[in-house]
Structure 1
Amino acid sequence: MKKKWITCMLLAMAAAGVQAQNPKKILRQTRENGWEFDLKAGINIGGFSPLPLPVEIRSIDSYNPTLAVQLGVDITKWIDSSRTWGVSTGLRFENKNMTTRATVKNYGMEIIGGDGNRMKGNWTGGVRTKVQNTYLTLPVLASWKASPRWSLHAGPYFSYLLDGTFSGDVYEGYLREGDPTGDKINFTNGAVATYDFSDHERKFQWGVQVGADWKAYKHLKVYTHLTWGLNDLFEKDFQTITFAMYPIYLNLGFGYTF
C-alpha cells in the first residue's frame, strides 16, 4: 500500500511539473509564430479642449491634470518574415481627468442655484471645471519595428465611457438668463453656483493614436503615445456648451513583454 501511495505522489508531481512547463512552452510557440504580448501600466496627462480656443474663453487661469492611470494588455502580430511590420490591438482600462479654472464671457451655462432651481443662459466670470472619466479602450494600430529596440505604432482607437463626471461651479460674475440680453443675475462676494453636465457625456469616443516603445531589457519596455479624440465629448443634442470638446492625452508608462 505504501508503495502505491509513493507511486501516486510521484505521478502527481510529474503531472504538476508538466503543467507548469506548458505555459512557458505555449508562450515560446506563440513568439515563434510572430505573436507578442505586453502588460502595460502608465499615466495619462492632458485634457478636454475645444479646437481652436473659442472667443468665449478669455483666459485659462489654472490647469491640473490630476492622477489618471492606465492599465492594459497589448497584442501584436508580426506579419512579415523579418518581423518588421505588424498589427497591434489590445484592451486598456484608463482614466482621463483634469481640473481647470478659466475666465469666460457669454459662455453657455446651466447652473444650479442654492435653492436647487436651474437657470440657463450666458455666463460671464470665473468657471471651475472638474472632469473624471473612466474608459475601456480598444486600439487598432499598424506597427513598425524600426530597430531591435524601437517600435512605432499608429492608428485609430475606440473608447466606451464606463463612468464620467463633468461638473464644477461658477463664481465672481453674472448670468444673463436665456440669452446675452436677458435678465442679469449677479454672483459676487464669494457667491457660487454649481453645474453638472455628466449625464450629457457621449458614451462612445474615437480618435487616433501614435506612439513608440523602447525595449530597455529582454522583458521590460518603456513607452509613450499620444491620443487625440475626433468626436465631441458631449452628445449631439446637448446645446448648452456651444462648441465641441476633444480629449487630447499623452500617456507615459512601462510594459512587461512575455
Structure 2
Amino acid sequence: MKQILLSLLCLLSLTATAQEARDKNILAALRHGWNFELRAGLSMGGTAPIPMPREIRGVEKYNPKLNVHVEGQASKWFDPHWGLVMGLRMEQKGMVTGARVKNYHTSLLLGEGAEVSGNWTGYVESNYAASSIVLPISAAYKVNDHGKLQAGLYAGYRFDGSFTGHVTDGHFRMGSPIGERVDFPEDKQATYDFSGELSRFEAGMQVGGSWRAYRHFLVYGELRASFTPIFPGSFATLTTKLYPIYVSTGFSYLF
C-alpha cells in the first residue's frame, strides 16, 4: 500500500512539474512576442464564374450551405503594431446552385451511363463540396488593444470533394449547338458527375480582422478568394472557370 501511495505521489509530482514547465514555455513565448489562437467558425459563399459568361441567363436557386472550419494560428509581433500570422486550417466548402442557361457546353450521362458532350439549353443544378487542409500566412496590424487587421495569401490541398448535378426542362444538342436535339421536359432529367476532375491544389488571398470581446475570446471575419479555379486548365468539358469565393466568421480563443 505504501509503495502505491509513493508511486502516486511521484506521478503527481512529475505531472505538476511538467505542467509548470509547459506553462513557463508558453509564458516565455508570449514574452518574446508570440500569440496563439484556436479558431472555429462557418463559411458561406460559392464557386463563381469570373467573368459571368453569356451562356448563363439567370440564377434561380442558391444554397450556400453551412461550411465548418477549424484553425490554429501563431502570431509573431515585431513591434506594438506589426506582426506575422501563420496558421493551419481544416475547412469545408460547398454550395448548391440552379440556373437557366443557353448553349452551355457540358457532358451528360444518357442512356445506360453513356457520357456524351454537347450544348445544353434549359435548367441546370450543381452541387459542389470540398474538404481541404490550408496553410495561410498574413501580415497583421494591431489597431489597438482590441482590434486587429490582417491580409495575406493561402495554399490548400483538397483531400475530398464532389461536383455533381442534373439538367431538366430544356434540350440538349449532341456534339455542337447544331447537333441532334434531345428534349428533356420537366419530368425528365440527365445527370453529370465531374468529381474526379476537381483540382487538388488551391491558392488565393484572404483579408479580414478580429475584435477582442473578452480577455481570451475574440470574434473575427474574413474574406477568402481563390486565384485558381476548381477544375484544371486541361478540363475542357466546362468552358467557364469557377473560382471559390467565401466569407468566414467565428470565434477565437487567445492563449
Do Structure 1 and Structure 2 share a fold, with TM-score over 0.5? Answer: yes
Deviations 1:182-206 (A, max 9, x none): 1111111410000011111111111
Residues 9 and 123 (structure 1), Cα distance of their counterparts in 2 relative to 1, 3 Å cut: closer
Q: Give the structure 1 partner of residue 66 of structure 2.
A: 67
2:212 to 204, 210, 215: 215
Equivalent position SS for 1:241: coil
Give the Å deviation of 1:8.
5.6
Cα distance, 1:5 vs structure 2: 6.9
Equivalent residue number for residue 234 of structure 1: 231
Unaligned runs of 5+ in 2: none
Instruction: Report % sequence identity.
Output: 38
Verify: 1:173 aligned to 2:175, yes or no: no
- Tell me the secondary structure at the aligned position of residue 215 of structure 2: coil
Distance 1:19 1:211 in 2: 37
**Secondary structure of 1:28's match?**
helix
- What's the TM-score once normalised by structure 2's chain length? 0.96
Question: CA 1:178–1:7 in 2, change beyond 3 Å: closer, same or farther?
Answer: closer
Deviations 1:44-85 (A, max 9, x none): 1000001121111000001001121001101111122x2x11
4+ residue runs over 2 A deviation: 4-16
Verify the 8 A CA contact 1:114 1:193 in the aligned structure 2.
Answer: no
State how far apart, in whole Å, the 1-side matches of 2:7 and 2:251 are.
45
Cα distance, 1:16 vs. partner? 2.3
Match of 1:148 in 2: 145
1: distance between equivalents of 2:245 and 2:84? 23
Which runs of structure 2 are paired with 1:80-159 in the superposition (5 Å)?
80=79, 82=80, 84-159=81-156
**Cα gap change, 1:5/1:174 in structure 2, threshold over 3 Å: closer, same or farther?**
closer
Paired with 1:52 and 1:230, the residues of 2 have a C-alpha distance of: 13
Per-residue deviation, 1:22: 2.1
Q: Partners of 2:7 and 2:127 in 1: how far apart?
A: 63
Match of 2:157 in 1: 160
Identify the residue that residue 200 of structure 2 maps to in structure 1: 203
CA distance in 1, matches of 2:120, 2:12: 73
- Summarize the alignment of residues 3-82 of structure 1 with structure 2, pairs less than 5 Å apart: 9-80=8-79, 82=80
Query: Of the candidates 224, 234, 246, which is equivalent to residue 249 of structure 1?
Result: 246
Q: Partner of 2:130: helix, strand, or coil?
A: strand
Q: Do the aligned partners of residues 257 and 170 (structure 1) sit closer, same or farther apart at CA in structure 2, a change above 3 Å counting?
A: same
Distance 2:186 2:138 in 1: 53
One-letter amino acid matched to 1:159? G
What letter matches 1:209 in structure 2?
Q
- 1:193 corresponds, among 190, 194, 199, to 190
Contact 1:102 1:126 in 2 (8 A): yes
